[in-house]
Amino acid sequence: MSDKIQYMNTEQFEDLLKTSDTPVILDFFSDDCPPCEVLAPIFEKMAEKYGDYIKFVKIMRQDNRELALKLGVTGSPTVLFFQNGKETGNRLSGFLTKPQVRKAIEEILGEVLPPPIMERVDCDLLILGGGPAGLSAGIYAGRAKLNTVIVEEGVCGGQAATTSHIANYPGTDGAINGRVLTNNMKDQAVSFGVRIDDLKEVFEVKLDGPEKYVLTEDTEYYARAIILATGARPRALDAIGAEDRKGRGVHYCATCDGAMYEGTDVIVVGGGSAAIEEAIFLTRFADHVTIVHRRDGFRAAQTELEEARDNAKISILTNQVVKEIRGGEHVLKEAVLKDVRNGEEQTIPVSGAFVYVGNDPQTKMFEGQVELDEKGYIAADEDTKTVLAGVYAAGDVRTKTIRQVATATSDGAIAAIMAEKYLNGFAGV
């Protein structure tokens, strides 16, 4: 734990705001909060870099509910900035990335640090992404004695690490915590000699030619082959007012924020397994949960749907999209729904909205270099080969029908084997 981070209660924090001559960054976090676990190492990294210029503070939301209510914080984590005793800048909430946090800090501070001394790293195989696909590739590549480096913009584990309950991964004892599973993968990759550089912000990628190149804030990587396993991130709700109310009525993690909505009515937006599972979870707290789905059919498993339909606290609206989110300064009051068939609108009272509307592949940095499909996924068949020699795509970032942890690890294994064959000069690989 960085000694530049202070853990405070409400009284200590309010005293700090009265006396601090430097800006303050506050992380409101909770227990049993996957996005909070994702943010924690990022917050530490930023504290080490910027701790001499801005005070880093963490406050447990459950133990300081009155302060959270006063500041209008209903989601975990929520990051706020203060200067001269008053809130400034933009709030951050939900599953945060290092670039999001860094940019927000630098908007408050400006550029205060000299440029870093750059390191050069040469390797046989570079793996971009440290989720199940990237870690699986690392295990296979390390075991094949390839000089292998995994570069991850966040912390290793990907979306799987934010899942508390994975019940369908082969070889586990009924169910396993996602963080435990991916940490096991990480430890296994390291045991085979794989170097893992996490919390590295990628600025440039060059994939063509015999030498692949990746630039981060302090390292230049050169590799003979590369596996793209950058995964996908949860898609934001495309509705008027949704972005402004992120963490203040609009949420992306029911496990983290559901307890704040005890005795209220909430909506869950989406039709996949995550949406249905979280709707069922929310009935522990909310008086009523309305599932809003844009289609007739659902991607969720039939057993999950049956459980939701049998729950008296859940109702389901199909062929509906959320057009607008409305409320007061800190409270959500209603959602405007639009029928996708006839355009008719209805307004329903809600106190919270939980969003599970799919994911967006993290492929923007590869545009113009490898072939992408209409949704932005990398075009690659089951052999994971892309249109460029020595470049492979694995996991949720690849064009495929099924995206599960098991299929991601399968992709990683295949990509590493294909890369090994390529590096050893096998024709056509």
3-state secondary structure the chain: CCCCEEECCHHHHHHHHHHCCCCEEEEEECCCCHHHHHHHHHHHHHHHHHCCCCEEEEEECHHHHHHHHHHCCCCCCEEEEEECCEEEEEEEECCCCHHHHHHHHHHHHCCCCCCCCCEEEEEEEEEECCCHHHHHHHHHHHHCCCCEEEECCCCCCHHHHHCCCECCCCCCCCCECHHHHHHHHHHHHHHCCCEEECCCCEEEEECCCCCEEEEECCEEEEEEEEEECCCEEECCCCCECCCCCECCCEECCHHHHHHHHCCCEEEEECCCHHHHHHHHHHCCCCCEEEEECCCCCCCCCHHHHHHHHCCCCEEEECCEEEEEEEECCCCEEEEEEEECCCCCEEEEECCEEEECCCEEECCHHHCCCCCECCCCCECCCCCCECCCCCEEECHHHECCCCCCHHHHHHHHHHHHHHHHHHHCCCCCC
pLDDT at residue 105 tops 80: yes
Please report which confidence band the pLDDT of residue 74 belongs to, taking 50, 70 and 90 as the band edges: confident
Average pLDDT over residues 192-218: 96
Q: So what's the pLDDT on residue 1?
A: 62
Average pLDDT over residues 120-128: 98
Average pLDDT over residues 341-368: 94
Q: So what's the pLDDT on residue 330?
A: 65
**Active-site residue, from 27, 198, 257, 396:** 257
Specify the CATH number for 5-109; select among 3.30.70.100, 3.40.30.10, 3.40.50.620, 3.40.50.1000. 3.40.30.10
Active site residue 296: no
Who wins on pLDDT, 110 or 128? Answer: 128
Q: So what's the pLDDT on residue 427?
A: 55
Q: So what's the pLDDT on residue 346?
A: 96
Average pLDDT over residues 351-364: 92
Average pLDDT over residues 213-228: 97
Please report which confidence band the pLDDT of residue 142 belongs to, taking 50, 70 and 90 as the band edges: very high
**Active-site residue, from 36, 156, 256, 411:** 256
**Statement: the pTM of the whole predicted model exceeds 0.85:** no
pLDDT at residue 174 tops 80: no
Who wins on pLDDT, 128 or 171? Answer: 128
**Candidate from 60-64, 126-130, 175-179 with smallest mean pLDDT:** 175-179
Q: So what's the pLDDT on residue 338?
A: 96
**Active-site residue, from 156, 253, 396, 411:** 253
**Candidate from 88-97, 223-232, 397-406 with smallest mean pLDDT:** 88-97
Q: So what's the pLDDT on residue 2?
A: 74
**Structure confidence by residue, pLDDT tens digits, 269-315:** 999 988 999 999 999 999 999 999 999 999 888 999 999 999 999 99
pLDDT over 90 percentage in the chain: 71
**Candidate from 99-113, 133-147, 310-324, 389-403 with smallest mean pLDDT:** 99-113
Average pLDDT over residues 254-279: 90
Active site residue 257: yes
Active site residue 122: no
Give the homologous superfamily in CATH for domain 119-233+359-423: FAD/NAD(P)-binding domain (3.50.50.60)
Please report which confidence band the pLDDT of residue 382 belongs to, taking 50, 70 and 90 as the band edges: very high
Please report which confidence band the pLDDT of residue 15 belongs to, taking 50, 70 and 90 as the band edges: very high
- What are the structural domain ranges in the chain? 5-109, 119-233+359-423, 250-355
pLDDT at residue 429 tops 70: no
Average pLDDT over residues 201-215: 96
Who wins on pLDDT, 113 or 152? Answer: 152
Please report which confidence band the pLDDT of residue 112 belongs to, taking 50, 70 and 90 as the band edges: confident
Look up the CATH number of domain 250-355. Answer: 3.50.50.60
pLDDT at residue 375 tops 60: yes
pLDDT at residue 229 tops 70: yes
pLDDT at residue 215 tops 90: yes
Same fold, 5-109 and 119-233+359-423: no
pLDDT at residue 76 tops 90: no
pLDDT at residue 197 tops 90: yes
Quote the mean pLDDT of the chain. Answer: 92
Q: So what's the pLDDT on residue 90?
A: 86
